[in-house]
Structure formats: C-alpha cells, structure tokens
Structure 1
C-alpha cells in the first residue's frame, strides 16, 4: 500500500516557490516553504558589460535558469532599448523561456529534457564554426555546455550573473514533513549541511533530476524518488505517484 503524503517541504529560493506551493495546495497537499539557497546578484565586470553591449554579434545566447533569465534581461535592457534581431535566445526549459518571452524575446527551448544536454540538441547549435555563443549563468556553473560548443567550433563567452549561497538558517518545520522537494544539487548540499538529521527522518525525498538523485543516493539516503525534471509539474507528478 502506498504511503499517504500530506505535508511537503518546498526548498526553492525566496520568490521562486509560489507556483509550486499553489500546485501542491490544489492537489490536496499542505506545502511548507523553507529556502535552502539564497540567490545573490553579482556586479557586472567591464568585460561582462562588453559582452552584453555586443549582443548582436552573438549567434546564440543561452540562459541556464530562470534566475539567469531575470537578471540577464534586466542587464541587457539597460543597454538595448530594442532587442537585436538574428540572435537565438536559448532557454534551458519552459520556465526560463517564459521569463524571456515576457520580456519580448523569442525564446527557444528543448521540447523535453530541460537541461544543458537537451539544449545542445537544438538545430541552431549543430554547426558553429566561426560563430560566437554567450552563456548567462550562475557563478561556478557546469562546463559541459561550453566545452561541447567549443568542440563544435564556437567561440564561447560566459557571464556570471549570480551566486548561490546557503540560507543562513534552515528552520525545519513542526510538525515534521512527509516529503522534501530538492530541485538542485546546490540546495541539496545546503540542506545536508544544516538539516541532515531531519532529512534522515523524512519519509520521502523527491529529487528534481537523475543528477540530483545520484548526489542524494551517494550521501546514503534511500528514501528517494526521482522526478523527470526539476520543473514544478514534474515534481508534483512524481509526488502524486507516491500518494494513494
């Protein structure tokens, strides 16, 4: 018989959890929000501003997350009263694409996968000889995307727009939760540092991807479910599958 899960801990950063909270409530869960991460915007170095000023010289601009899209659009808007034409604005998934489209950009995103590997399959990134690609991301992001583009002949530039930091304190809710949603490797590390004892007691941890799940499993946790992606709808679908 499946375990009935009711109280669900959402660990997305402040300002990014409301949609997930609403979906959970509509599905009959009792969501609780406790951010594991703080997203801290970084000042732009002169070289970073130059890349944004030269936006029309790039074949493609890749936004690795909704945070990158929000901060990137704000920085670009200061320099571009009208968006340049002929640039492929690429989003890692639909949540990121939605931010770009709200700003008036024609965003392209993979139909499935919602990660760097899926973006690399887009037609506009297959033939890159003598083309420039700009990556807008957080500090210390994965290098797979940039390395693959370089292998395909692209000149790759990156701009770090934000830094992920552990929340100053993770206040574990009372009464205890039945499930914990983990949507990034960084948030998992922060949770482990500050709330390992509580995590061990949680009936279910839902990982937002196989990569996140591997990190959780390697830390010795077997109370694990793995969603198709970190997107809210996929996290909810995975959780509902365990409910009955």
Structure 2
C-alpha cells in the first residue's frame, strides 16, 4: 500500500527512508511548512519573563532552534534557565534539545494529552508559570487546560504554519496514479494538516474515500472520525508516536485488513 508522508519537508526524510528500506512505496506530500515569526517587541517582553517559569514546553525541533536563537537576541543564556524543567512533545524534539545540553521530559503519547499527564505538570501547584515555545495555532487545548487550573502561561509564538504550495502540485501531478489505486495510507499528525488535506481534497473528493488514515493521538482521531461520517472512507487508526516501527506495524495491520 502506498504511504503518503505528510510531515513537513525538514522532518519527513527519516520516516520516508525507514519505510522505503522496508519496501514501502512513499509519496511525500508535506501539509505544513513552518515559517519563523520576526523577533517582535512582544516576544522580547515574554523572554524577559521566562526566568519566572518552572517549566518550558517545546512543541517541535523548529521551536527549539528558533527559541534558542531568540533567547540570545533577548540577551539571555541557558545558564539563566538552569532552574527550569523542559518538556519535549516527542523524541525528535528531545533530541534537538539534547544538542543544546538539555535533558527533557517526553510523554509516552506524543500529544497535548500525553504532555498534560506528565508528572512534572500534574505536580505543579496553581499559580505556577509555564512557558510555551510553539507555532501559531498549536497546543491551544493544552494551554487552555493549564489556564483553567490557574497556571500562568507564557505564550511564545515563534513561527506560523501554512500549507506549502508544493502539496497541491504533488497531488495534481500524481492524481491519475492515486485514482487508479484501490487504497493508500495517509499520515495525519495535527488538526492543521488535516484541514489542509481536506481543503486539497475538495478538488478530488474520490481520493478521500480511497485513503486509510493513521492519526496521531485520541483528540485528533475524534476530529478525523467526525469529519469522515459523510464519506465511505476505508477507515482510520489511532497512533501514539511517529516512530518508523509504529508506522510499519500499523501499515502491516492495514494490509492484513485489505
């Protein structure tokens, strides 16, 4: 079964290579690209408060790299943050933090819900300060939940996300071959990428029903399930991380069902 890897271009390669090594055909259709926000007065002001934080939540390798760049622009260093605990959304982000000498807490399920269940967060008292290094539109559920627990949230929006123009070009170019397939698999890792996929599929609604979706996390799985009700979709399955072995196991399960 063909696998459509929808990860941003800079994050897609390792998964694509691992699947291809296992004789899986892969088509890369990046549904998100990450564009750095300028270092504004607002961001500078938030960085001046970051030493108040007990925890910094970092949502992507991109957030790590931009966050460190802007830390320097704010005339701060990692030594100023040595009292702070770090949370990484997943292993790729944790690996990126480690390059800066930072050990981080990583949830078993690489989602907002997974991070909220980490003991480092559940042990915090009301009034604790938590900083987010994130992209525009991301992790709103998590921040809202923490605010409801009377936590102080520092919201550092370091980049925005958009659908790359190349995504539609790739689908247009491969439409005939995709339409000839009885089925294929699509990776969905965020609500933003899911909405971008649906937007592209307005042009090719028949492809929606040829796809089997691998969806990251329970909340996103519920969103996909609700959106699929009008369609005779092949189905979807919930995954809890983006490790190649997890993807390969799920693809083997899908092949077994077909």
| TM-score normalised by structure 1 residue count | 0.86
Distance 1:154 1:214, change over 3 A: closer
Counterpart of 2:93 in 1: which secondary structure?
helix
- Equivalent position of 1:199 in the other structure: 207
Distance 1:107 1:35, change over 3 A: same
Alignment partner of 1:216 is 2:224: yes
How far residue 91 of structure 1 moved from its aligned partner, in angstroms, is: 1.1
Counterpart of 1:175 in 2: which secondary structure?
helix
- Equivalent position of 1:228 in the other structure: 239
Distance 1:155 1:211, change over 3 A: closer
Please give the root-mean-square deviation of Cα atoms over the aligned residues, in Å: 2.3
Distance 1:26 1:77, change over 3 A: farther
Tell me which moved more, 150-159 or 184-193.
Answer: 150-159
Distance 1:187 1:153, change over 3 A: closer
- Equivalent position of 2:177 in the other structure: 175
How far residue 148 of structure 1 moved from its aligned partner, in angstroms, is: 3.0
Matches within 5 A, 1:70-149: 70-78=65-73, 79-83=75-79, 84-110=81-107, 112-125=108-121, 126-149=123-146
Distance 1:127 1:181, change over 3 A: closer
Q: Structure 1 unaligned runs (5+)?
A: none
Q: Please say if residues 212 and 235 of structure 2, whose CA atoms lie closer than 8 Å, have aligned partners that are also in contact.
A: yes
How far residue 74 of structure 1 moved from its aligned partner, in angstroms, is: 2.8
- Equivalent position of 2:193 in the other structure: 187
The total of aligned residue pairs comes to 238
Counterpart of 2:177 in 1: which secondary structure?
coil
Distance 1:227 1:237, change over 3 A: farther
How far residue 175 of structure 1 moved from its aligned partner, in angstroms, is: 2.5
**C-alpha deviations, 1:182-219, integer Å up to 9, x for none?**
22221111111113425325242222233333333323
How far residue 54 of structure 1 moved from its aligned partner, in angstroms, is: 3.9
**C-alpha deviations, 1:43-86, integer Å up to 9, x for none?**
13213123224433211111123332232233224444444211
Q: Structure 2 unaligned runs (5+)?
A: none
- Equivalent position of 1:66 in the other structure: 61
Q: Distance in 2 between matches of 1:207 and 1:131?
A: 32
Counterpart of 1:140 in 2: which secondary structure?
coil
- Equivalent position of 1:32 in the other structure: 27
- Judging by fraction of residues, say which structure has more helix: 2
Q: Please say if residues 21 and 31 of structure 1, whose CA atoms lie closer than 8 Å, have aligned partners that are also in contact.
A: yes
